[in-house]
Chain A
Amino acid sequence: NAGVMQNPRHLVRRRGQEARLRCSPMKGHSHVYWYRQLPEEGLKFMVYLQKENIIDESGMPKERFSAEFPKEGPSILRIQQVVRGDSAAYFCASSTSSGNTIYFGEGSWLTVV
């Protein structure tokens, strides 16, 4: 039963390093979403992707953050030159093209020290 798979589950990075978070959608799902959850807060939309295409990146910070969903392989959320404020839980979700049901992964916890 392969749901949305995220890895790593926990990642520690020093300030200035790069963080790469991976997400494999559920089987049959072609749409991927990335959300960020800061401590004691709700989920904030970051980016919405189809294979090889960014549909909506209105929630992505303008600098240091990028996302991709290649034709083959998982979706990757990349954070360059991490700062302490990037410490958060990053959730990936996936859906079919209809998007009438969106399933989440278990999240990746990034800690910047």
Chain B
Amino acid sequence: AQTVTQSQPEMSVQEAETVTLSCTYDTSESDYYLFWYKQPPSRQMILVIRQEAYKQQNATENRFSVNFQKAAKSFSLKISDSQLGDAAMYFCAYRTLNQAGTALIFGKGTTLSVSS
């Protein structure tokens, strides 16, 4: 069974600085998707970024980018120029392409605090 591990329960960053959130996963499959979701205090789940495993190029969305290391099964999220609005819980998630089971599997989350 696939598992997702986020080893940092809490992280903090100063405004305008850069922070990296770690995520590792375990799978025997070669094709899958990886996601980062953000959950602010409003508790809504917001998709931040997505990576297809078959793509070697790291995904980027404005200030958010990932470092995808397939062999190491690592998928870290880098937030550049951090803003107060980035403060939230961040969840890493995995999704198999196996037709029999295609739900997202989440890590336990990392709480990011941003200070001015």
Interface positions of A (Cβ within 8 A of B): 31, 33, 35, 37, 41-45, 48, 55-56, 58-59, 89, 91, 93, 99-104, 106-107, 109
Closest to A31 in B: B102
- Compute the total of residue contacts between A and B using a CB distance below 8 Å: 60
CB distance from A86 to the nearest CB of B (A): 17
**Cβ–Cβ contact B106 & A42, under 8 A:** yes
Closest to B97 in A: A99
CB distance from A24 to the nearest CB of B (A): 16
Per-position 1/0 for B100-111, Cβ under 8 A of A: 111111111100
Considering the chains assembled together, what is the distance between the CA atoms of A58 and B102 in angstroms?
12
**Cβ–Cβ contact A45 & B104, under 8 A:** yes
Considering the chains assembled together, what is the distance between the CA atoms of A59 and B91 in angstroms?
19
**Cβ–Cβ contact B95 & A102, under 8 A:** yes
Closest to B44 in A: A106
Given contacts A43-B106, A45-B103, whether A99 and B95 have CB atoms under 8 Å apart is yes
